[in-house]
Amino acid sequence: MLKNNTYLAAVSGGPDSMALLDIYKKQISIVCHVNYHWRIDSDNDEKIVRQYCKKNKIKCCVLNINPNVYKLEKIKNFENWARQKRYDFFLDISKKNKINKILIGHNLDDFVESVLMQKNRKIFTYFYGIKKINNYSSLKIYRPLINKRKRELEEYCNKNNINYSIDSTNSDVLYLRNKWRKKISLLTKKEFMQIYKNAITYNKKSNRIYSICVKKYNQWKNAGYNVKFFNNINDKKIIFEIIYLLLIEISPLRISSNKINGIIKFIQSNKWHCKYRINRNLTLLKMDQKITINKIDHLK
């Protein structure tokens, strides 16, 4: 159970997030909803969230994104772009209201989807799936429903007469996650749980090594991302994980091994007063013996 009522909550209007909102409504101070106007029925999602918040006297903050932005920014990967927008929005609301904790409705199906996607990309990781607790900049993210199946949350909403929407693009396999959701839907319960158990076993075995990496990353961070400190680390796996930890702290975007290796080469190179562009929002600057994170606000 959550200990206090100072949480934000990310609510899309789907069954997962609406179940989250209803279960933890006494602990939630502000609901955050993003309307991308990407689908013709997206206004209905916003309406459902607003109505619930009004009925239960919960403050609701909505980010409406002008569809013309998609054309102007020439977005190639909408899923990644949308993820960046909403997490920056959550962070903005967090800072304005001085609430540094947010609830997100990721569930066990999301966990297994992430495991399969991680393995398909064949990148090294100390952790498979989605963590119950992690950070995005100064915002602490909690996923209290991570051990619940998606169908359980739909059943909860139906049983308790909680209105929710079904994303009309859920069957569109042009979206990467939908492809994996379709594959998961074909798994037997035994197959599904075996994937989950294997991931948990792997994560437990890796936890000791991961703890060392977190400690080393925090030392590097406290040293002001000092280049000499970084270059004195000899273990390649620890170096790789340190950059991974840096990226998941500053950006919610999907992280590739090529991106991580590119940043490692950038830091270890003999070049100074140079920069490395992570994405359209983030750039690493290398100067004065340290790495500086330069973030551009495209939220407006």
Q: pLDDT tens digits for 14-66?
A: 999 999 999 999 999 999 999 998 888 899 999 999 999 999 999 999 999 98
Distance CA 49, CA 59 (A): 11
- Farthest CA pair distance, the chain: 62
**For the residues 109-126, what does the mean pLDDT come to?**
87
By CB atoms closer than 10 A (0-12, 13-18, 19+), residue 21 is: buried
If you ran DSSP here, which 8-state letter would residue 279 be given?
A: S
Check whether 71 has a pLDDT greater than 70: no
DSSP 61: E
Distance between CA atoms of residues 81 and 142, nearest Å: 22
Give SS3 for 291.
Answer: strand
One-letter identity of residue 77? N
Determine the Cα angle at 34 with ends 60 and 10, to 5°. Answer: 60
Alpha-carbon distance 28 to 17, whole Å?
Answer: 12
pLDDT per position as a tens digit, 203-258: 998 888 888 999 999 999 999 999 999 999 999 888 998 998 898 888 766 677 88
Contacts of 191 (CB under 8 A, 6+ apart): none
**What are the DSSP calls for 143-155, one per residue?**
-TTTTS-HHHHHH
User: What is the reported pLDDT for 84?
Assistant: 87
User: What is the pLDDT, as a whole number, of residue 197?
Assistant: 97
Q: Kindly report the pTM of this predicted structure.
A: 0.77
Average pLDDT, the chain: 89
**What percentage of the chain reaches a pLDDT higher than 90?**
62
